[in-house]
Structure 1
Amino acid sequence: MRTMSPLSRTLGIVFLLALPLPIFIVFGASFNGSAYIQFPPESYSLRWYIEAFTDPRWARAVGTSLWIAAVTSVVVTTISFMAAYFTLRYAPRINTMLELAIFSPLFFPHACMGVAAVALMAKLGIVGTPGAIILAHVIVTVPFSYRPVHVALRSVDPDLIRAAEVMGASELRALKDIILPICRSGILTSLLFTGIISFDEVTVTMFLIGPEITTLPVQIFTFIQDDASPVLAAISTISVIITFLAIVLLERVAGLTFFVQRSGS
């Protein structure tokens, strides 16, 4: 096996160290004591974190993003599981076509999807409502939900299902007692990963917000246009911490291997 040259190893280390550098800069700027974003800070203060936690606009935006992400993750994971279970068990011939349809949102820029979402939601009369945002987030996140669920279902030994049927278990009983426990890691991966994506989604969401509802990423983008104070760095740091904790939980509970495994393996 070929070993990496010292130059390649050094470049790789520099590249890996450079990736989180913007996050550390934002983190440092969030403790700046002055009224404008500056790095390195001339003075240190927690005033911007205090403002972030006491300003009702930020608390409302965080709460909205969290519950929309939670609902989206449950809905899209349920849809993905039902679609994967049906195709693997009853219609394997359409599996390729179904995957193409599910992964199709990855082929389009989010700005184009936002315009299409506005047109669709306008016809449904739900623009500016939580339902419109959740529906758009389901479409955006379904490719990331389907893969771990599909891989988990492919790992179920068909002989276990046949043995349960021979013993008189109904399909619902086999699903509840055999399939779901085996697929728990894939389901948890889907729930957490799609929740993270929904929580951070901004491009499509910008087209669908209304006067009564906005999410944290959209609130940050709107605030930048009016007042780029260090409270943005504090809010961004809090958002990064929430996402990081969710990824750590995902790795501890289920692992990230579902995103690198091949479906046929």
Structure 2
Amino acid sequence: MNAPLIRLGRAGSFALLLFLPLPIVVIGATSFAAAGYLRFPPGELSLRWYAEAATDPRWIEAFATSLAIAAVVAVLVTAIAFAGAYACHRLRPRWLPAFELAIMSPLFFPHAALGVALVNVLAMAGYLGTATGIVIAHVVCTLPFAWRPIVVALQRIDGEIVEAASLLGADERRIALGIALPLARSGLVTALLFSFIISFDEVTVTMFLTGPQVTTLPVQIYAFIQENASPVLAAISTATVVVTLLVVMLLERLIGLEFFVAHDPA
């Protein structure tokens, strides 16, 4: 009786899986077009636009800036998330649900509103239009994505190991750095890589914070596309997608993605 509905659901799911990557496929094919405009099908193939992107100082500088900011943010937010998650895991304060809600709050607010709020805060601190200001903003935006896998990893640590270390005279610092840190490495790597990807691709909040001296690759792409629809944008976008895909594949290969989506143990 339900067989037609099941088949329809499967067909719809399959069609959705084919449709979702379609824009990426179109952009990837367009990036190899020899013509001086966006064209699909690409016709004659060429690496002209990849060569242009690799030799243009604007793109090189923006890419290097995004790479450096994402690396710093990934390390900082992973360290902050581990320190906070470990303290909450050990102390289990009564206000923990409210604290975790505050940690996750950047996911609930529109990034445009978050960008406006950060403009005011960073302007008062004197960091508006600087790389430091962008790093601070990205730490706020990526903290929820680092928090979750680290919390799950800490909850999977056998409590008897920690108790035995305490009985043998280990202080809290030794337990945190010598036991919890190594045993939670899977969650730490997951947090590190996810934070890097999100920071590298962040554009909405970053648009409010860039200045004449610093801009990131996504913001540079957004500014360039308003003036010129050159296929070089397709080449840069394709390269960015490939880098992101490689990082996700590395994460799945080394750790797996379950730390990001797993439920808390009962």
Give me the TM-score of the superposition, normalised by structure 1: 0.96
Contact 1:72 1:134 (C-alpha < 8 Å) held by counterparts? yes
1:226-245 equivalence runs, <5 A: 226-245=227-246
What number of residue pairs does the alignment pair up?
Answer: 264
Return the alpha-carbon distance in structure 2 between the equivalents of residues 82 and 28 of structure 1.
45
Return the alpha-carbon distance in structure 1 between the equivalents of residues 90 and 197 of structure 2.
30
> Could you tell me which residue of structure 1 aligns to residue 27 of structure 2?
26
Superposed CA deviations along residues 205-237 of structure 1, whole A, max 9, x for unmatched, are 000001111101000000001111000000000
SS in 1 for 2:87: helix
1:39 aligns with 2:40: yes
> Could you tell me which residue of structure 1 aligns to residue 200 of structure 2?
199
> Could you tell me which residue of structure 1 aligns to residue 128 of structure 2?
127
Give me the TM-score of the superposition, normalised by structure 2: 0.96
The one-letter code of the counterpart of 1:202 is V
Superposed CA deviations along residues 7-66 of structure 1, whole A, max 9, x for unmatched, are 221111111011101000000000111111011113211110000101111111111111
The Cα of 1:6 is off from its aligned counterpart by 1.9
> CA-atom RMSD, angstroms?
1.3
The Cα of 1:161 is off from its aligned counterpart by 0.9
Runs of 4+ displaced beyond 3 Å: none
1:48-127 equivalence runs, <5 A: 48-127=49-128
Contact 2:86 2:176 (C-alpha < 8 Å) held by counterparts? no
> Could you tell me which residue of structure 1 aligns to residue 256 of structure 2?
255
Superposed CA deviations along residues 101-135 of structure 1, whole A, max 9, x for unmatched, are 10111111000011111111110111110011000
List runs of 5+ in structure 1 lacking aligned partners.
Answer: none
SS in 2 for 1:165: helix
Return the alpha-carbon distance in structure 2 between the equivalents of residues 135 and 91 of structure 1.
27
1:166 aligns with 2:141: no
Return the alpha-carbon distance in structure 2 between the equivalents of residues 124 and 172 of structure 1.
32
Q: Which moved more, 1:191-200 or 1:151-160?
A: 151-160
The Cα of 1:258 is off from its aligned counterpart by 1.3
Return the alpha-carbon distance in structure 1 between the equivalents of residues 177 and 101 of structure 2.
29
SS in 1 for 2:212: coil
Return the alpha-carbon distance in structure 1 between the equivalents of residues 165 and 122 of structure 2.
44
SS in 1 for 2:129: coil
Return the alpha-carbon distance in structure 1 between the equivalents of residues 78 and 99 of structure 2.
16
The Cα of 1:165 is off from its aligned counterpart by 1.6
Identity %: 53
